[in-house]
Amino acid sequence: MKPETEASAPEHLQRGLGPLDATMIVIGSMIGSGIFITSAESSRLVGAPGWLLAAWALAGVLTITGALSCAELAAMMPRAGGQYVFLREAYGATTGFLFGWALFLVIQTGTIAAVAIAFANFIGVLTDSVSATSFIIAPVSFPGGRYALSLSTQQLVAIAMILALTLSNTRGLKTGKFIQNTFTFTKTAALAGLIVVGLLLGWRENSAAFTSSWWDSWANGWTPQGAQADVTTVGTLALVMLLGRAMVGPLFAQSAWNNVTFTGSEIREPGRNLPRALLVGCFTVVVLYLLANVVYVTTLPLATIQNVPQNRVATATMQAIFGAPGTILMAVAIIISTFGCNNGLILAGARVYYAMARDGLFFARVGTVNARHVPAIALVAQGLWASLLTLPRTVTTNPAIGAVTYGNVYTQLLEYIVSVDLVFYALMVGAVIVLRRQAPNAARPYRTFGYPVVPLVYIVLAALLIVDLAYLAPLTSGIGYLLVLTGIPVYLVWRRRGAAMRQNSALETAARN
């Protein structure tokens, strides 16, 4: 490992984040729009309320065991870039770069784009002037007709949100953490409020909890082929495999807990505060998500959860309790939630590209900080790319009636990258074991609780899910791996360029001496 201390580190980031700030980054980056919509797809895949809760619980097990493991690495190496640094130290620079490449290309920026569109989508609930079909620039199709470019009022609001949060984060860490703390407190209270209201007022006799079989999906009219047409397995095996796929939405909703590690160089007393933030933040969100799903299944019929328009399960829940005003209440809650979520993603993500640039593996200016001690160039690069990802559209034509539907390319890219992202998480957890062997004497302010069982539980569950996704969606998973592998030639170019720059710098130093 590289023996780098804060005093000797070539960084100029300031440790301005306390334990509360770090915890708010964890919670705020996790709670976006996923908890409000993903249960619809998961329930369609498994067909019973018990299995829906099981999908969320298993995703929670992965999140908690992952956080318990990651906490050791975060306390051990509290540096800008977090997971990028962990992978680099455990497996080499190539693996670290490929993670950073995937993060910039799709994972972080695509998620920022998705959350921004969700923000704009729910702004559209409050005003008709913001809509996916209200075009400033009508869709312009590419050759072949499968993709197009457009600018709708919805896309414009999403871009404005991304750029506004990017700009505010270039103004200094105090501004970024103020926004993060304010919106995270507000949206956590809103989610907790939904849960309390649902548990007190939402119980309905016709809900899934009381009218559907909890564990017999077939008794609820479910079939494997109805859930996914190309499934060839039958019986319990089919259900178990589809349960794995049903975990994808919950995992996506619980992802980004690793973002706090990206800010390792800016957290005070990181050996203590980073593990606490990870554990408290992840545990809080997992419990809230499970309770929210209990509310869904005790308030709504199973068919409603599965078929609610635009997958808005939380909105349907509030409508069942409050009537029409519930739609407005939920829209405001999701607007607050997505705004705070994107602030955390934008604040943290830029630190990875900053760290890569410091290693000579990205544009040199990305590795600089501005007068307010934040990586402004990295923030701007991330914001511009995320904004661009909101513009391309997928084009789907209904052959029966000729109707054209426009989707979002970033959604397609995120679907491709799900399996790869899980691989990177598993490699990070595996790095705990690898570094215990490679650097047994390194200082570890926190050691993983339940080691080695806890990391192994994560790795086994993640490996099973990766294989499951490869079987159920081989093309989607395969494209994701290919997207990441495009980073190999890019890495070779940057490595050669970095070596040349270091050689020139050494020659200049020798000449001066």
Task: Report domain extents, the chain.
Answer: 19-139+152-394+401-485
The answer to whether 267 and 78 have CB atoms below 8 angstroms apart is: yes
Q: DSSP assignment, residue 444?
A: -
Angle at 243 between CA 405 and CA 291, to 5 degrees: 90
Range in 99-108, 251-260, 490-499 the model is least confident about: 490-499
The dihedral of CA 25, 454, 291, 307: what is its sign? positive
**CATH number for the domain running over 19-139+152-394+401-485:** 1.20.1740.10
The number of helices, as runs of H, and strands, as runs of E, in the chain is: 22, 4
Between CA 120 and CA 153 the distance in angstroms is 9
Between CA 429 and CA 83 the distance in angstroms is 10
User: At residue 8, does pLDDT exceed 60?
Assistant: no
pLDDT confidence tier of residue 500, bands split at 50, 70 and 90: low
Q: Which of 391, 321, 387, 315 is nearest to 126 (CA)?
A: 315
Strand partners, 141: 148
pLDDT (average), residues 250-278 = 94
Q: DSSP assignment, residue 105?
A: I
User: At residue 411, does pLDDT exceed 90?
Assistant: no
Burial class (CB in 10 A: 0-12, 13-18, 19+), 151: middle
Joined tokens for residue 62: 């992965």
Joined tokens for residue 340: 């705070």
Between CA 45 and CA 505 the distance in angstroms is 57
Between CA 497 and CA 483 the distance in angstroms is 22
Between CA 248 and CA 470 the distance in angstroms is 13
pLDDT confidence tier of residue 509, bands split at 50, 70 and 90: low
Q: Which of 231, 243, 255 is nearest to 464 (CA)?
A: 243
pLDDT (average), residues 7-18 = 70
pLDDT confidence tier of residue 504, bands split at 50, 70 and 90: low
The answer to whether 427 and 91 have CB atoms below 8 angstroms apart is: yes
Burial class (CB in 10 A: 0-12, 13-18, 19+), 489: exposed
Helix or strand (DSSP H, E) at 435:
helix 409-438
The predicted-structure confidence for 184-232, as pLDDT tens digits, reads as follows 999 999 999 999 999 999 899 999 999 999 999 999 999 998 888 888 8
User: At residue 473, does pLDDT exceed 70?
Assistant: yes
* Mean pLDDT for the chain overall: 91
Largest Cα span, the chain:
84
User: At residue 477, does pLDDT exceed 50?
Assistant: yes
- Beta strands (DSSP E) in 112-195 are 135-141, 147-152
Angle at 323 between CA 319 and CA 325, to 5 degrees: 90
CA dist list (Å): 447 to 263, 264, 313, 436: 20, 17, 39, 10
Q: DSSP assignment, residue 10?
A: S
Residues 6+ positions from 397 with CB-CB distance below 8 Å: 145, 403, 404, 405
Say which residue, 512 or 317, is predicted with more confidence: 317
pLDDT (average), residues 402-430 = 85
- For the chain, how many residues are written? 513
Residue percentage of the chain with pLDDT more than 70: 95
Joined tokens for residue 102: 């995937």
User: At residue 508, does pLDDT exceed 70?
Assistant: no
CB count in 10 Å sphere of residue 123: 21
Q: Which of 32, 109, 107 is nearest to 339 (CA)?
A: 32
pLDDT (average), residues 354-373 = 93
The alpha-carbon radius of gyration of the chain (Å, integer) is 23
Side-chain-side CA neighbours of 317 within 13 Å: the count stands at 35
The predicted-structure confidence for 90-140, as pLDDT tens digits, reads as follows 999 999 999 999 999 999 999 999 999 999 999 998 999 999 889 999 999
User: At residue 172, does pLDDT exceed 70?
Assistant: yes
The answer to whether 504 and 119 have CB atoms below 8 angstroms apart is: no
Q: Which of 501, 364, 386 is nearest to 10 (CA)?
A: 364
